A and B are shown apart, each in its own frame.
Chain A
Amino acid sequence: MKKEEDRISGWQIFYDDLSLLFLLGMVIPAVIYLLWGVMEYANAPTAVIAP
C-alpha cells in the first residue's frame, strides 16, 4: 500500500492531463460563446420594412 504522501491526488491527475485540459479549453468557449451565439443570431427574426 502506498504511503499517504506518495498518493497522487485526483486534482493533480486532472491538471497533468494535457489532452483533457485541451479538450475542455476548446469545448467550453465553443459551446457557451460561439455556438450559442451563432444559434441566437441564426434564429433572430428578420426585420420587416413597413410598406
Chain B
Amino acid sequence: MKVGLPKGLYYYYCQKWVYFFNELNVEVISYDTNKEIIELGNNSANSEMCLSMKIFLGHINYLQDKCDYILIPNLHYDKKNQMCANFNCLYDLVSNFFKVKLLTFDNKKEIKNYLKVGKELGFKSKQIKKAYKIATIKYNKTFKKLKLENMNKLNSINKKILLVGHSYNIRDKYLNEVIDLFKKFNIEIIYSDLFDDDYYFYLSKELYWKYSKINVSSVAYCKEQVDGIVFFTTFPCGLDSLVNELLMRKIDKPYLNLVIDDLDSLAGMETRIESFVDIIEQD
C-alpha cells in the first residue's frame, strides 16, 4: 500500500504521520519540490494563489497516479489558534478536481484521527494504537533534538541571523536555494519554527494565528542575541503581509525582507543577501 504525502503546507506539521506509517509498514511517497512540480502547480492553480499553495497543488498533480491514497487533513484549532484560510479548503479543492482516493481527518482528538485513518487502511485498532505510541515517542525525540541544536546555535561566537518564515517555506528544498546562499558565509542560521509560542505576547497582543505566534515569539525571544533578522515569505502570503510588517516596525535590528514569487533568477537575491551580510559583519 502506498500513501502519498505532498511535501507542501501541512506536511511539515504532520511529521508524526510519517513515523506512524513507517511503523505500520505503509509506504510513504513524497518527493522534494523541483522545477517540474512548480510548473505543474502553476498550471493547475488559480493565478492569485500564493506560491506555497501552487507548490502544494503541483505535488498533488505529481503524486496522483503514483500512489493509492493521499492524506489531506483539515487542520483547524480553536479561535485563538487559527490556521491560514488556505488550509481549510485544501481537502475540498483536491476532492473536486483530482480523482484520487483521499484520506482525511478533522482535527479534534489526536488519537481519534489516527484510529480513523488507520481503520480506513484496514488495520486493527490494537496495531494502530501501538504504532501511534511508538510514532509519538520517535517524533518527540527527533523534534527535541532539533530544538536543542537550534537553541545551541544561539551560543555560537559567529555572527547569527534569525530566519523567520513558515515551516513550509523555510524547509522546502526548492525554496531553500535562496537560504543556501547564506551558507557560503560564516554565519549561523537559526530557524524560527523550532520555538515555542510563549513569548509572542511581548510583541503582538491580538495575534491569533497558531504558527505566526511561533514566529513572533521566536523574534521576541532572541532579538537581543542575534545580529540580524531575515523574513522569508512567498508572494502573496496573507498572514505574513500583516505580521511581518508589524515585526519590522517593532524591532531595531538590521532586517532583510525576502519575498519570493518565481525562482527564475537567483542573481538579484544574491546581491541583496551579500549586502545584508556586509551590514551585519560591520557591526
Q: Answer yes or no: are A and B bound together in one complex.
A: no
